Each structure stands twice: as structure tokens, then as C-alpha cells.
Amino acid sequence: MSTVRETFGLACPKCGRDEELEVWAFTGVLLTPDGTVEAKDSVHEWSESHHCECRACGFQAQVDAFTVDETRKAEVRS
């Protein structure tokens, strides 16, 4: 089984963990009378400039601050 570090080249620069990284991505939601729900066919998009938070230790920064593998930085992520 691969890790987030191996797949995305990302890990927390503060605690080193990679299994609880939350990225604030763009996605599509449907508006309903009761609120919003994620659209079933929506895609989510994010890049190095998006906000990222490590849920393990609370560290927050842009995604590029979590980069540990420069060779993967140019890959398109979705």
C-alpha cells in the first residue's frame, strides 16, 4: 500500500506525518433548501497554492510547504 508521501510527495513539515493532510480544494456543490451537498459528479481541484492543514498536529500552510519530493511537484493533482 502506498502512502500520501509516495503518491503526492507531501508530508507535514512539522510532525512528518502524511496520513491526515486536509487540503481545501475547489469542488461543486448543489444548493438545497436545507443547505449544500457535494454534487455526485463534481470533480475537486487543488494545487500548490491551496490551503493545507495537518490534522495530526494542526500545522497550516499552503500545499507547497508540505512538499517533500521535488520530482512530483510538477504533476497535475486532482
50 touches Zn ion (CB under 5 A): no
Applying CB under 5 A, does 46 fall inside the site for Zn ion? Answer: no
Q: Is 11 one of the binding residues for Zn ion (CB under 5 A)?
A: no
Distance (Å, whole) CA 16 – CA 60: 13
Q: Which stretch binds Zn ion (CB under 5 A): 29-37, 45-53, 59-67, 70-78?
A: 59-67
Q: Could you give phi then psi for residue 66, rounded to 5 degrees?
A: -95, 0
# binding residues, Zn ion (CB under 5 A): 7
Judged by beta carbon, residue 36 or residue 60, the one nearer Zn ion is 60
CA distance 26 to 47: 10
Q: How far apart are CB 66 and Zn ion at their closest, in Å?
A: 9
C-alpha cell at 35: 443547505
Angstrom CA distances, 63 to 1, 11, 44, 57, stand at 23, 10, 15, 15
Write out the residues near Zn ion by the rule CB under 5 A. 12, 14-15, 54, 56-57, 59
